[in-house]
Amino acid sequence: MGWNSIVDYDTLETGNKIAIIGDSYIEAFQMDVGKNISDVVRSKLPRNTIYSFGISGAPMSQYLQMSRYVKQVFHPNVIVFNIVHNDFLESLSAIKREPAFLTYSKHDSSFKEDTVIPSPPAKFTTRLFMKSAFIRYLLLNLNIENLFSSSQLTQKNLKRYDSNVDIDLALSRKEDIMHLFNLIFDKVDVENPHTRILFMVDGLRTEIYSNRPPEKSELAWMNELIRENCISHHFECIDMSNVFNDDFKKNRNHFEFKDDWHWNEYGHMIAGDTLSKLLLTTKNSY
């Protein structure tokens, strides 16, 4: 049904259905087929139906929109939202507004959903090129546009970046982000009254590798924002900072590729194993 997955999706599937929603971490084009977080959970919970819904570049606001589609089409018993740190700023229309993605604009002291801009039709030459597996490999797997983008490298050298986030810009919008995420959590709660909701938030790996407590990161407030909202809305939460930190102290393995901040096979394995353990329990948090 258009999603990157080792299994075909069936809208008529019965039984316990778990939907994992996210961006490129869940889309997982960086991974070999059958080795991403959804595959790990599927192997741990063979009696459940595991469907993943990942779109590169999607922020938290778009996850809300995707959950509406998932609920309407697949009726899952469980929805898992995987949060990474660029999901916060990019939920604001003033920061990044792209076709096909839901974002929010501030009006006085409140936030409202902007009308989603339709994706423009692809040009004939683009459609022709994308029929080539080799070109798709170069663009989607190797991501050569970013690999050779000197302007992007220059921009990042001029600013303080961590976890693909402009730290100072995020701090300048902290109050807006906190208010918006409170609103989005409210919507998730109201729109899914009979669904088990879990949030996973990526670990603060820069601090972990530097042997500093993750809570010392200048982005730690983002993880705390997710945890606090999960508590107030009675959702479950996995903060991968704690999980990654404990594992790194023991095994010293990195969780991402050398030249790519996305999780590698080891990172997906640890994340999938952690999520599986929580799904096997009654409501709890890591």
Query: For 93-116, what is each residue's pLDDT tens digit?
Result: 999 999 999 999 999 889 999 999
Nearest alpha carbon to residue 220 among 236, 122, 212? 212
How much is the pTM? 0.90
Amino acid identity for residue 85 in this structure:
H
Task: Quote the domain boundaries for residue 107.
Answer: 17-119+166-279
Amino acid identity for residue 125 in this structure:
T
- Angle, CA 23 vertex, CA 231 and CA 87 arms, to 5°: 55
> Average pLDDT in the 60-81 region?
98
Taking 80 as the threshold, does the pLDDT of residue 284 lie above it?
A: no
Q: Kindly state whether residue 155 falls inside one of the protein's structural domains.
A: no
Q: Kindly state whether residue 172 falls inside one of the protein's structural domains.
A: yes
For residue 147, what pLDDT is reported?
A: 64
> Average pLDDT in the 51-63 region?
97
Query: How big, in percent rounded to 5, are the helix, strand and coil portions of the chain?
Result: 45, 15, 35
- What CA dihedral angle connects 96, 98, 103 and 107, to 10 degrees? 70
pLDDT band at 126 (very low <50, low <70, confident <90, very high): confident
CA 286 to chain centre: 18
Q: Kindly state whether residue 229 falls inside one of the protein's structural domains.
A: yes
Summary mean pLDDT of the chain: 93
Contacts 24+ apart (CB under 8 A), 174-179: 174/221, 176/92, 176/106, 176/111, 177/88, 177/89, 177/91, 177/92, 177/222, 177/225, 178/225, 179/111
Phi, psi of 106, rounded to the nearest 5 degrees: -90, 130
For residue 155, what pLDDT is reported?
A: 47
The answer to whether the Cα torsion of 201, 202, 204, 208 is positive or negative is positive
Who's near 12: CB < 8 A, 6+ residues apart?
none
For residue 225, what pLDDT is reported?
A: 98
Residues 172 and 8: their CA atoms lie apart, in Å, by 43
Q: Kindly state whether residue 63 falls inside one of the protein's structural domains.
A: yes
Q: Kindly state whether residue 40 falls inside one of the protein's structural domains.
A: yes
Taking 90 as the threshold, does the pLDDT of residue 142 lie above it?
A: no
Phi, psi of 37, rounded to the nearest 5 degrees: -60, -40
For residue 259, what pLDDT is reported?
A: 84
Query: Tell me, what CATH number does 63's domain have?
Result: 3.40.50.1110
**Looking at 220-286, which runs of residues are DSSP E strands?**
236-239, 256-257, 260-263
Query: Residue-wise over 174-205: b if at least 16 C-beta within 10 A, else e?
Result: eebbbebbebbbeebbeebeebbbbbbbbbbb
How many structural domains are present in the chain?
1
Q: Kindly state whether residue 82 falls inside one of the protein's structural domains.
A: yes
> Average pLDDT in the 174-185 region?
98
Nearest alpha carbon to residue 67 among 242, 189, 167, 188? 188
Taking 80 as the threshold, does the pLDDT of residue 64 lie above it?
A: yes
pLDDT band at 122 (very low <50, low <70, confident <90, very high): confident
pLDDT band at 286 (very low <50, low <70, confident <90, very high): low
Who's near 246: CB < 8 A, 6+ residues apart?
none
For residue 197, what pLDDT is reported?
A: 98
Instruction: Give tens-digit pLDDT for 144-175.
Output: 776 665 444 444 555 789 999 999 999 999 99
Q: Kindly state whether residue 1 falls inside one of the protein's structural domains.
A: no
Nearest alpha carbon to residue 195 among 284, 98, 67? 67
> Average pLDDT in the 174-195 region?
97
Q: Kindly state whether residue 7 falls inside one of the protein's structural domains.
A: no
> Average pLDDT in the 214-219 region?
96
Token output for 145: 């546009």
pLDDT band at 240 (very low <50, low <70, confident <90, very high): very high
